[in-house]
């Protein structure tokens, strides 16, 4: 059985990483135009690096939670073929043991040269004076997808969702496209697992609400017996 799971910031909340749009979310403390757009990076790269350096440090201090671990267990099951498509830039799915993870918004562990598009593993702390290891230009940025940029691997993601028997969205407000529109492409049963109804909750066949650390392990046990 082919399963595609889309995850958002809500799956990492109980690991201590903030969400974006909840009451105390990141976008209540930062203007996304300053720290999550290419224009903002052009205006003040030091501010952008400070923002991602803080998130990289938080992520290093965080640990995968029961929801990440349940999905890693589901991937190991012989009867289900799981692909995780995550909007998250943290590496908690990988640290839980998941192997098939597509980061459609990039990763905090990645660095990208804005001049030559070279990619390498990011140090814990980056700053605007860092030189690209390949072209030696001081144009390094986090390898994350900013607003107005094209998410990674969308063709592959769309094919996987269309071919899935089950498409489940976990911990996302469904406010950002194209991720929020993936449910429309799903070829099989669709399920929303979230703390509260998302903006696209009515597009799902079924929905279950509660903390991810409770409802995701329950769902995985129902699937795998
Ligand atoms: N368990 C399950 N769901 C939770 C939990 C929890 N413990 N805590 C919060 N949630 C839910 C919230 O109800 C909300 O619907 O997680 C969702 C978080 O929504 P957002 O903060 O909007 O995060 P996300 O949907 O991942 O944002 C998508 O927006 O800013 C961009 O690039 C950024 O990838 C991000 C994208």
Strand partners, 190: 167
Pocket of ligand 1 (CB under 6 A): 8-10, 13-14, 19-22, 25, 87, 105, 171-173, 175-176, 194-196, 198, 211-212
Which is the closest atom of ligand 1 to the Cα of 196? 13
Decide if 104 contacts 155 (C-beta within 8 A): no
Residue in the structure block whose two tokens are 């094209």: 150
Instruction: Report the distance separating Cα 26 and Cα 67, nearest Å.
Output: 22
Q: Which helix (H) or strand (E) holds 206?
A: strand 206-209
If you measure from the C-alpha of residue 50 to the centroid of ligand 1, how many angstroms do you get, rounded to a whole number?
Answer: 22
Q: Is 29 a catalytic residue?
A: no
Q: Rounded distance, CA 133 to CA 135, Å?
A: 6
Pocket test for ligand 1, best of 33, 55, 171 (most atoms within 8 A of CB): 171
Q: Please give the backbone phi and psi of residue 107, each rounded to the nearest 5 degrees, phi first.
A: -145, 150
Tokens of 195: 């703390």
What does the alpha-carbon distance between residue 1 and residue 93 come to, in Å, rounded to a whole number?
A: 21
ipTM, two decimals = 0.99
Q: Which of 45, 23, 25 is nearest to 35 (CA)?
A: 45
Domains by residue range for the chain, with CATH: 1-17+64-105+150-225 (3.40.50.1220), 18-61+110-144 (3.30.1600.10)
| pLDDT value at residue 225 | 83
Which ligand 1 atom lies nearest to the CA of residue 22?
21
pLDDT digits (tens, 9 = 90+) for 136-145: 999 899 999 9
pLDDT in tens, the chain (225 residues): 999 999 999 999 999 998 999 888 999 999 999 999 999 999 999 999 999 999 999 999 999 999 999 999 999 998 899 999 999 999 999 999 999 999 999 999 999 999 999 999 999 999 999 999 999 999 899 999 999 999 999 999 999 999 999 999 999 999 999 999 999 999 999 999 999 999 999 999 999 999 999 999 999 999 998
Distance CA 52, CA 109 (A): 10
**What does the pLDDT read at residue 78?**
84
Give the model confidence (pLDDT) of 44-84 as tens digits: 999 999 999 999 999 999 999 999 999 999 999 988 999 99
Residues 168-188: b if buried by 16+ CB within 10 A, e if exposed: bbbbbbbebeebbebbebbbb
CA-closest residue to ligand 1 atom 29 = 176
């Amino acid at each position: 059985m082919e399963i595609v799971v889309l995850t958002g910031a809500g799956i990492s909340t109980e690991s201590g990483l903030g969400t974006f749009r909840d009451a105390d979310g990141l976008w209540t403390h930062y203007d996304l135009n300053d720290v999550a757009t290419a224009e903002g990076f052009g205006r003040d790269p030091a501010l952008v690096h400070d923002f991602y350096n803080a998130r990289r440090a938080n992520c290093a201090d965080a640990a995968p939670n029961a929801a990440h671990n349940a999905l890693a267990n589901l991937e190991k099951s012989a009867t289900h073929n799981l692909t995780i498509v995550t909007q998250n830039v943290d590496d908690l799915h990988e640290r839980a043991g998941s192997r098939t993870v597509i980061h459609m918004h990039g990763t905090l562990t990645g660095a990208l040269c804005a001049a030559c598009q070279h990619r390498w593993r990011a140090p814990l702390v980056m700053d605007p004076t860092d030189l690209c290891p390949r072209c030696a230009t001081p144009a390094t940025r986090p390898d994350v997808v900013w607003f107005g940029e094209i998410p990674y691997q969308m063709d592959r993601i769309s094919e996987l969702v269309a071919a899935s028997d089950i498409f489940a969205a976990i911990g996302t407000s469904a406010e950002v496209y194209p991720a929020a529109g993936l449910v429309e492409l799903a070829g099989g049963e669709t399920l929303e697992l979230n703390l509260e109804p998302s903006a696209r909750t009515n597009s799902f066949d079924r929905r279950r609400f509660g903390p991810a650390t409770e409802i995701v392990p329950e769902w995985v046990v129902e699937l795998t017996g």
